Structure 1
Amino acid sequence: MPHSTASEPVLSGGLVEEDSIILDAPGQVPDYTKEEGKIDMYDSVSPSEDSAGEAPRMDVKLEDIFNDVDDDEDDEFSGSRVSNTNSEGSPQEAPFQFAPSAKYTDPEVMLAFYQRLFPFRYLFQWLNHSMKPSNDFGHREFAFTLQNDAYLRYQSFATGDLLRKDILRLNPSRFEVGPVYTANPRDRKTLRKSTAFRPMAKELVFDIDLTDYDEIRTCCNKANICHKCWSFVTMAIKVVDAALREDFGFQHIMWVYSGRRGAHAWISDKRARNMDDQKRKALAGYLEVVKGGAQSGKKVNMKRPLHPHLVRSLDILKEHFQRDILEDQDPWATPEKAERLLQLLPDKLLNDSLRKKWDAAPGRSSVSKWADIDAIAKTGASKALDGRALLEAKQDIVLEYTYPRLDVEVSKKQIHLLKSPFVIHPGTGRVCVPIDTKRLTEFDPLGVPTVTELLGEIDAFDGQAKKEESHVKKPQDYEKTSLRPYVDYFKIYVAGLLREEKGAKRGREEDAMEF
């Protein structure tokens, strides 16, 4: 199970001036609207400004960390290697200097993760859509949550190296990715017209959070998860991914584990990035089927004939309903919960017969209760029973208990900020890793490595290599750890996106040359 939530340490001296804006949780103000006593926009601190205090860090010089590197992929993490020089002048790798009891919330641990494991180069290429710096990255907003919980918005960087340098300087507990603006976010206050600064592009995103399933999952609630309820996320990814690819033609879709109880989808196709808020809202509405809060009545009431998307979704979900819902969740085990099932059926006489049968057999499983519906319907217990209405009601029930429950507000606006892939979840210490949809059912959220585990794996690898005195070329730090398959997957995903972007650019150039 994930680690229990630990409070974030507050650094002595702080990293920003005392009058800096403090926000409890950046994602809790998605619209950034102004409320009484609150400010709607958050000032940034420029990397060139001196901080009131520096984050605790390893004894490393920035010039040693950020030597120029070429485009060779083997050098991806070379800038993150911590090296000293021995008495003979040759470089040697420095060991970590952590206390044995170090936790993932310790600033030293976070700094080591950013230095040695975070894939900054591929993050840059993913958000820049090219190997060469462009406004797709330079006008992109980043937001940092610092170790003392200060929240810095409208950070921007011309290159991935500059982003990395500032993250090592500030050592944030996490950071988020925002939209690409019409101007550099750092220059927004110098523009003569406020309308000159507006979002113009952003990946289309979707958010799945298991807390939205609390009324139907019986194994866990709130921030807790287990393998049984993770199946809700698996179902949601299958349905949403199929719709995005088959109904809208998107290809570059990356699902990322949130680090605790959910997953995020990032759609990087250019057509998706350029969608305005109205189109995003319409697409989110297309995918929204389960509606209503925890106390509402019937949450699914679809018109017939069913839309092809729903027919496909039912085909995907029917197997999960039998195994993951009826068997694992047993949602109607108690008489009180069984009443919820009866409320969703269309015939009163049928309901009375079912209630009588279940009252006579306390502890009857949900698998049996679901089978009882058809069995009693066939006995003619209700002469007025409409067979088609019963079938449609059962389809709606399947959708209510299996169909994705999306936080659609996340998807509707370009301006929304979303946690970056590969950051550390502050409550569990787990890395927010990409999910390989081709191996979706194999993904284990509880098996995703924590930052302290990864750093320990580097130590163990280096210790063994030193004993063996191998002269083989040393692998990059991430290759020494269980983070490797996730970084490799991200590399492949980014490479596919860059190939398409390069081909599209070449096509536009050729069209422009024609007379």
Structure 2
Amino acid sequence: MNLDPNLMLFTYYKNFFPVKEISEWLELDEFREISFCSSEGKYMRYLTFADFEEFHEKLTTLVPAKIDIGAIYDVIPAKDIQKKAVKRELVFDIDLTDYERVCCKDKSVCDKCVVLIKVAVEILDYALRKELGFTNLGFVFSGRRGLHCWVNDKETKEFTEVERQEIISYFNTCCDKRIFSPEYTEIMFKYSDYMKNQNFIDISEPFTEEDLYKKMFIRLDKDVTTSHAHLIKMPFCIHPIPVNFRFLSVPTSNDFTLEMCR
């Protein structure tokens, strides 16, 4: 049984979407930009809400197909006024389309290449906690074929774009300057069957650290991390395509809503 898409979204936003918790986490007020995207692909930018009740009312009225989070500004943001983004969460984006894959192309994903997401999570978790000293991390499905890592340590909201770029450079240095961390290598080696499954190496021949870093090391979307202006998909919102909560698994949003309404 399939619900009408708008009815499904309305039911989800009204009864199951954690609007109060999301609002508290984002410190939602009239200086924070929220963006809605309709099922027809029309974006509504610079929406602002004084509190979670107002946010929830707008969700159930407009029933957006997608919700994105913007920055916190120095003024109540609007399209045609001068404004400056002063705070934004530190987020890292992993997208499988940035990797070389034989098993899948473009937007396709399978069990073989999802291994790259596992590698990215373990490397990010280790590096951000053990090497950079962050403590509060959250990993969420970003839609289609990717993952977002949210760093929720309070001070990171105020990082400048230069400071954010330095963190990206920290990871890029590993490959650019051939600085192969034993800890990163150990993580990738655990999943090294991927190299054979993709036919990157001859199954009878050993592979090098450099092979692992070229094919499996974490690849980050720089703009998502560095740019204060970049919108980021809100955790717990519905992903219009393919309306799944996580890779290659049920429930879909339709199945979830039907199950919870029983």
TM-score (norm 1): 0.48
**4+ residue runs of structure 1 moved beyond 6 angstroms?**
none
Q: Can you list the C-alpha shifts for 1:259-300, whole angstroms capped at 9, x where unaligned?
A: 32110111121221110111011111111258xxxxxxxxx4
The answer to whether the 8 Å contact 2:46/2:79 transfers is no
SS in 2 for 1:400: helix
Q: Which residue, 175, 181, 185 being the options, matches 1:314?
A: 185
Give the corresponding residue for 1:204.
90
Give the corresponding residue for 1:102.
3
Provide the rounded CA distance (Å) in 2 between the counterparts of 1:301 and 1:451.
41
SS in 2 for 1:279: helix
Provide the rounded CA distance (Å) in 1 between the counterparts of 2:214 and 2:49.
44
The 3 A distance-change label for structure 1 pair 289 and 229 is: farther
| One-letter amino acid of the counterpart of residue 182, structure 2 | V
Q: RMSD of the alignment, in Å?
A: 2.0
Provide the rounded CA distance (Å) in 2 between the counterparts of 1:424 and 1:230.
21
Provide the rounded CA distance (Å) in 2 between the counterparts of 1:138 and 1:165.
15
| One-letter amino acid of the counterpart of residue 453, structure 1 | D
* CA radius of gyration, larger in: 1
How far is the alpha carbon of 1:168 from its aligned partner? Answer: 1.0
Q: Which residue, 143, 156, 164 being the options, matches 2:56?
A: 164
Aligned pairs for 1:43-442 within 5 A = 100-102=1-3, 106-128=5-27, 137-186=29-78, 189=81, 194=82, 197-213=83-99, 215=100, 217-289=101-173, 300-303=175-178, 306=179, 310-321=181-192, 323-326=193-196, 328-332=197-201, 366-370=202-206, 394-431=208-245
SS in 1 for 2:12: helix
Provide the rounded CA distance (Å) in 2 between the counterparts of 1:268 and 1:179.
14
The answer to whether the 8 Å contact 1:144/1:172 transfers is yes
How far is the alpha carbon of 1:314 from its aligned partner? Answer: 1.0
How far is the alpha carbon of 1:325 from its aligned partner? Answer: 2.1
How far is the alpha carbon of 1:301 from its aligned partner? Answer: 4.9
- Larger helix proportion, structure 1 or 2? 1
Give the corresponding residue for 1:375.
none
- Larger strand proportion, structure 1 or 2? 2
Question: Is there any run of 5+ residues in structure 1 with no aligned partner, and where?
Answer: 1-99, 129-135, 291-299, 333-365, 372-393, 432-443, 463-515
The answer to whether the 8 Å contact 1:240/1:287 transfers is no
The answer to whether the 8 Å contact 2:2/2:254 transfers is no
- Count of residue correspondences: 262
SS in 2 for 1:178: strand
Q: Can you list the C-alpha shifts for 1:94-124, whole angstroms capped at 9, x where unaligned?
A: xxxxxx4435xx2122111111211111101
Provide the rounded CA distance (Å) in 1 between the counterparts of 2:50 and 2:159.
24
The answer to whether the 8 Å contact 1:204/1:267 transfers is yes
SS in 2 for 1:228: coil
| One-letter amino acid of the counterpart of residue 164, structure 2 | R
| One-letter amino acid of the counterpart of residue 257, structure 2 | L
| One-letter amino acid of the counterpart of residue 278, structure 1 | V
Give the corresponding residue for 1:452.
254
The answer to whether the 8 Å contact 1:142/1:177 transfers is yes
Provide the rounded CA distance (Å) in 1 between the counterparts of 2:135 and 2:3.
41
SS in 2 for 1:429: coil
Provide the rounded CA distance (Å) in 1 between the counterparts of 2:130 and 2:30.
33
The 3 A distance-change label for structure 1 pair 235 and 289 is: farther
Q: Can you list the C-alpha shifts for 1:361-392, whole angstroms capped at 9, x where unaligned?
A: xxxxx321337xxxxxxxxxxxxxxxxxxxxx
The answer to whether the 8 Å contact 2:70/2:229 transfers is yes
How far is the alpha carbon of 1:246 from its aligned partner? Answer: 1.3
| One-letter amino acid of the counterpart of residue 276, structure 1 | T
Question: Is there any run of 5+ residues in structure 2 with no aligned partner, and where?
Answer: none
Provide the rounded CA distance (Å) in 2 between the counterparts of 1:273 and 1:242.
21
The answer to whether the 8 Å contact 1:223/1:260 transfers is yes
How far is the alpha carbon of 1:182 from its aligned partner? Answer: 1.0
Identity %: 29
The 3 A distance-change label for structure 1 pair 170 and 400 is: same
Provide the rounded CA distance (Å) in 1 between the counterparts of 2:110 and 2:79.
46
TM-score (norm 2): 0.92
Provide the rounded CA distance (Å) in 1 between the counterparts of 2:259 and 2:139.
26
SS in 1 for 2:206: helix
